Amino acid sequence: MRVDFIYIIMVGLPARGKTTLSGKLQDSLRRDGIRCRVFNNGDLRRKLTKDNTSYPEFFDPKNKTGAALRERYAIMNLNHARTFVEGNQGKPKAAIIDATNVSAARRRMLLSELPAERVLFIECINEDRDILDENIRYKVCTPEFSHLSTEEAITSFRKRIQYYQGIYTPLRTERNFVKVNTFHYRILEENLNDGLPFYDRIRDFLVTPFIKNLFLIRHGETYFNLEDRIGGDSGLTVGGLNQARALAGHFEKKRIPLIFTSDRQRTIQTAIPIQEAQQGCKIMPLEEFNEIDSGVCEGMSYAEIRKKMPHVSSARKQDKYNYVYPEGEGYVTMEERIKRGVKKVLYLSSHSENIMIIGHRAVNRMVLSHFVFKRKEDVPYIYVPQDKYYHMAINQNKKLFQLKKYA
Ligand code: F6P
């Protein structure tokens, strides 16, 4: 019996989402009963070299010692991948070789050792400056850079990227490849010359957001909430702070590496106790998650708006989704920035088991509707309480969506 196997070789500059994609792809293929393992060159280098190899010149192609060492790890990893695929015959297998592999020479070397008709190259592309900056800022928090200040580490990492840029040859002549925009989940180019096993599944995976657990929380009670006032930057009440503490207790046993908030104090104040109950957790405020800007109505209560600006209240009632506050926003105009915020979250949270967003009422409605189909006219009425949160889990086979009480 012939059993299927595939070698997947990642290609792309650092910080383009290769490792995240590899980890998610591994999970997805395993769920389909395929034995899959990721072989990461960087992990091998960090494990086997005692010396510091994080400084940029190590990656300078002219640095003979660095280049030889990296080549050695590439070959070692390739051999590990081959042993994995060739061993324990009789099971379908996929080996993912996760490294930059940006030079044509490196790829030729890999291909000379593998059956080319069983190799799929996946090139990860993302040129969104903003996302790259944030990703680099997050990446340099790893132990590899702990001897440097954040700014020094960022400079060092950028320099490393430049060295890779100097030898980068995008995929063009390889037999089987796919180029993917890892920020937008979009296939940019495909070139398939062999009927590669599992390819239909892999292709579908590349364009599907994949979320193990996403906890979507609304900030705790604020002074503005007590008066039914909208917008502003009000802080949490004692009740709100208690809600934040209850959330911290509720999530204590889960590992939350990153909490995404808006840049308003009510979401950050809700995040702080949760962060404090975790180890190595970072709060990342994103302005994409700021509450709907109610323009001339900022700081007013709904009753005041009804009284002083009845035209606003009635027009909004007529078509809440499309209504745009004078000098402000509407649900309709929030759509783009919320989408961008969600993509940022998915990109920056890598392959985390748990992702947390602490947002606002209108924001959370829009985030929910990004994942779960709702008619537009129903989106502005989605229930977003402060004593419960939404738990979502999404992959190619399921979509879980649950409202849970935390206290
Ligand atoms: O908590 C109040 C609030 O977040 C306001 O800041 C915002 O304008 C409002 O909810 C959004 O809800 P709706 O669209 O139902 O007015």
Q: What is the pLDDT of residues 117-134, one digit of tens each?
A: 999 999 999 999 999 998
Cα of 291 vs centre of ligand 1, distance in Å, is 7
Q: Given this model, what pLDDT does residue 194 score?
A: 93
Ligand 1 within 6 A of CB of 362: yes
Ligand 1 within 6 A of CB of 330: no
How far is CA 140 from its chain centroid?
16
Ligand 1 probe mutation, 264, 265, 292, 325, most atoms within 8 A of CB: 292
Q: Given this model, what pLDDT does residue 222 score?
A: 98
Cα of 183 vs centre of ligand 1, distance in Å, is 29
Q: Given this model, what pLDDT does residue 45 score?
A: 86
Protein residue with its CA nearest to atom 15 in ligand 1: 380
336: exposed, middle or buried (Cβ count in 10 Å: 0-12, 13-18, 19+): exposed
Can you read off the two tokens belonging to residue 86? 């060739």
The two beta strands, 388-394 and 211-218, are antiparallel
Structure-token match 């920020």, residue found:
183
User: Across-strand partners of 179?
Assistant: 123, 189
Q: Given this model, what pLDDT does residue 260 score?
A: 98
Per-position b or e across 178-189, b if 16+ CB within 10 A of its CB: bbbbbbbbeeee
User: Across-strand partners of 260?
Assistant: 284, 357
Q: What is the pLDDT of residues 279-298, one digit of tens each?
A: 999 999 999 999 999 999 99
Question: From CA 124, how far away is CA 10, in angstroms rounded?
Answer: 7
Q: Can you state the percent helix, strand and coil of the chain, rounding each to 5?
A: 45, 20, 35
| DSSP state letter for 301 | B
Question: From CA 205, how far away is CA 208, in angstroms rounded?
Answer: 5
DSSP 3-state of 154? helix
- Across the beta sheet with 282-285, what order do the strands follow? 282-285, 258-261, 355-359, 211-218, 388-394, 399-405
Residue among 216, 261, 264, 266 at smallest CA distance from 239: 266
Question: From CA 165, how far away is CA 157, in angstroms rounded?
Answer: 12
Can you read off the two tokens belonging to residue 226? 């007590």
Q: What is the pLDDT of residues 17-59, one digit of tens each?
A: 999 999 999 999 999 999 999 999 988 888 888 777 888 898 8
* Contact predicate 6/120, CB 8 Å: yes
Q: Given this model, what pLDDT does residue 46 score?
A: 83
- Enumerate residue ranges in the chain where pLDDT < 70: 1-2
Q: Which residues, including other chains, have CB under 8 Å from residue 280's CB and lie 6 or more apart?
A: 257
Ligand 1 within 6 A of CB of 359: no
* Contact predicate 364/216, CB 8 Å: yes
